[in-house]
Amino acid sequence: MDFYINTGPMRVLVTGGSGLVGKAIEHVVLQEGGKLEGEEWIFLSTKDADLLDVGQTRAVFEKYRPTHVIHLAAKVGGLFLHMKENMHFLRDNLRINDNVLQTAHEMGVTKVLSCLSSCIFPDKTTYPIDETMIHNGQPHDSNFGYSYAKRMIDVQNRAYFQQFGRRYTAIIPTNVFGPYDNFNIENGHVLSALMNKTYKAKTEGTPVTVCGTGAPRRQFIYSLDLGRLIVWVLREYEEIAPIILSVNEEDEVSIKEAVEMIADALDFKGKIQFDTTLPDGQMKKTASNAKLRRYLPNFTFTPLQEAIKKTCDWFVANYDTART
């Protein structure tokens, strides 16, 4: 198979382009000057192609002929949905990822940047976790299907490089939140679900009930910060091995601290209670961003309280159209 080296302006195809991270990249590219002259950025949604279907995947690649791909599309859900449907999350994500990576390879895509998740890390491990530890043990039981499917992207990237010289890589963001997130209380990510829950409690004059003890600790990254870093990775990062995109270790907070910040941002004065009969999930998964800091020692993350306030303001302003 003859591979060409693309030397002209990039034509970037973003799968999952209408979601939380895709919208953040779109903002960075179109509103913050992230797009260079002559470049094309195409943001796909499920309306454009069902990436579970290899024929539709091939058709959308042939339509846009990308030189670069940012692969964000995935079957995702909250903790409780993952616990119920591990098989579905495993099969669907394996198929999506294989369709995207193999089609990119067959069509001569110069670089694919895939998005992994911090849930891929081993459950029983030492902290902080770094990029070399991904495969050193089983992921947490609650979402092992999704986690193993995401881990396989790293395996595929290494294999495409070893066998074909393909420069496909991956990022591992910690817990992402921001505008355009899924704010659904049942299956949204933790911060966004709590924002919706707190807003509802404020309007109804009821307490906020948080699932679990509030003790688990997480590193939360604002979606616009992640968008800026992804554009940098696409342009500058040359390794096949993945890179963790995260705030510093000392910026990790408990769910209890996070919900208090949300209450403050929404001016919620009611009671916050914790339902300790419900599971907490992983108590911590502290990630090291030392590799990122070697590349970008001066990158400034949006402070968590400020990012939560911006996201809450967006959610309230867009309540009628937000994913709830």
Mean pLDDT score across all residues of the chain? 94
- Asked whether residue 1 carries a pLDDT value surpassing 50, the answer given is no
Digit-coded pLDDT (tens) for 161-200: 999 999 999 999 999 999 999 999 887 888 999 999 999 9
Q: How far apart are the C-alpha atoms of 133 and 149, rounded to whole Å?
A: 16
Would you place residue 26 in the very low, low, confident or very high pLDDT band (cuts 50, 70, 90)? very high
Digit-coded pLDDT (tens) for 255-294: 999 999 999 999 999 999 999 998 887 788 899 999 999 9
Would you place residue 115 in the very low, low, confident or very high pLDDT band (cuts 50, 70, 90)? very high
- Asked whether residue 6 carries a pLDDT value surpassing 80, the answer given is no
Q: Determine the pLDDT at residue 77.
A: 73
What is the model's pTM?
Answer: 0.93
Strand ranges, E, within the chain: 11-15, 40-43, 68-71, 111-115, 167-173, 175-177, 208-211, 217-218, 220-222, 243-245, 253-254, 272-275
Would you place residue 129 in the very low, low, confident or very high pLDDT band (cuts 50, 70, 90)? very high
Contacts 24+ apart (CB under 8 A), 95-99: 95/52, 96/51, 96/52, 97/71, 97/149, 97/150, 97/152, 97/153, 97/156, 98/156, 99/51, 99/52, 99/53, 99/54, 99/57
Share of residues in the chain with pLDDT > 90 (%) = 84
What lies within 8 Å, CB to CB, of 240 at 6+ separation is 157, 158, 161, 167, 168, 169
Catalytic residue among 146, 168, 180, 222: 146
Would you place residue 7 in the very low, low, confident or very high pLDDT band (cuts 50, 70, 90)? low
Q: Determine the pLDDT at residue 284.
A: 86
| Residue 209 token pair | 């009930």
Q: Determine the pLDDT at residue 142.
A: 85
Please provide the distance, in angstroms rounded to a whole number, between the alpha carbons at the two ends of the chain.
46
Digit-coded pLDDT (tens) for 194-220: 999 999 999 999 999 999 999 999 999
Dihedral pair phi/psi, residue 181, rounded to 5°: -70, 170
Topology adopted by domain 11-177+220-249: Rossmann fold (3.40.50)
Q: Determine the pLDDT at residue 109.
A: 98
What single-letter DSSP state applies at residue 245? E
Q: What is the mean pLDDT of residues 292-300?
A: 97
Would you place residue 4 in the very low, low, confident or very high pLDDT band (cuts 50, 70, 90)? very low
Q: Determine the pLDDT at residue 122.
A: 93
Q: How far apart are the C-alpha atoms of 102 and 96, rounded to whole Å?
A: 10
Q: Determine the pLDDT at residue 100.
A: 98
- Asked whether residue 47 carries a pLDDT value surpassing 60, the answer given is yes
Give yes or no: 146 in active site. yes
